[in-house]
Amino acid sequence: MSRVSRREVADVIAEYAIKAKNLKHFSRETAAYLLDEGRVGELDPILRDVQDIWARKGYVNAIAVGARPLSDTSLSDVRSKVRALYPNAKHIKVISQTDPNLIGGVRIELANRQLDLSVRSKLNKFKQLSTKGE
């Protein structure tokens, strides 16, 4: 019997997770499957695939990382940026996290991309532009 591809596993997880009545039970079953099949090492790529599948179905999850907890206005701005990337999204969920290593601004993490709107990123871009003319 051939091994089920990572993408096929992600397709099943994505479909069932949207419909699952008891996510805790479903999560345990999924974890058990991954353990039994020796695929725990694939968890991160599987989760990225699941988020990508959800995004194509209109359910977008984003993690907004700031130096401090984000205000409601900042979270609304993040939703607007995500909406611009996924104009057909039916539902956008933004999870706020903090990273004290950020100077300021925000980093938006999505399934297969990252928008770095942090101060450090902007300073690095400015530095690159200013050294090109030398």
Structural domain total, the chain: 2
Whether 64 and 50 map to the same domain: the answer is no
- For the segment 31-43, the average pLDDT, to the nearest whole number, is 93
Whether residues 73 and 49 fall in one domain: no
Q: Which of 121, 93, 81 is nearest to 105 (CA)?
A: 121
80 shares a domain with 27? no
| pLDDT value of position 133 | 59
- Residue 63 shares a structural domain with residue 53: no
**Distance (Å, whole) CA 28 – CA 34:** 10
Pair 68, 133 in one domain:
yes
| Angstrom distance (rounded) from CA 55 to CA 52 | 5
Pair (132, 69) in one structural domain: yes
Pairwise CA distance, residues 17 & 120, whole Å: 36
The per-residue pLDDT for 22 is 85
For residues 34 and 77, state if they share a domain. no
- Cβ-contact 85, 117 below 8 angstroms: no
Query: For residues 89 and 123, what is the distance between their CA atoms, to the nearest angstrom?
Result: 32
Which domain does 51 fall in, by range? Answer: 1-57
> Pick from 13, 38, 57: which residue ends a domain?
57
Share of the chain above pLDDT 90, in %: 57
Integer-rounded Cα Rg, in Å, for the chain is 18
Q: Please, are residues 104 and 111 in contact by the beta-carbon 8 Å criterion?
A: no
Cα dist from 110 to 47, 107, 115, 128, whole Å:
11, 10, 8, 25
Residues 96 and 122 in one domain: yes
Same domain, 52 and 74: no
Residue-level pLDDT at 14: 92
pLDDT 10s digits, 15-29: 988 888 888 988 899
Indicate the pTM of the whole model.
0.73
What's the pLDDT at 134?
Answer: 60
**52 and 63 together in one domain:** no
Compare 66 and 117 and report the one with higher pLDDT: 66
Single out the residue in 33, 57, 81 at which a domain terminates: 57
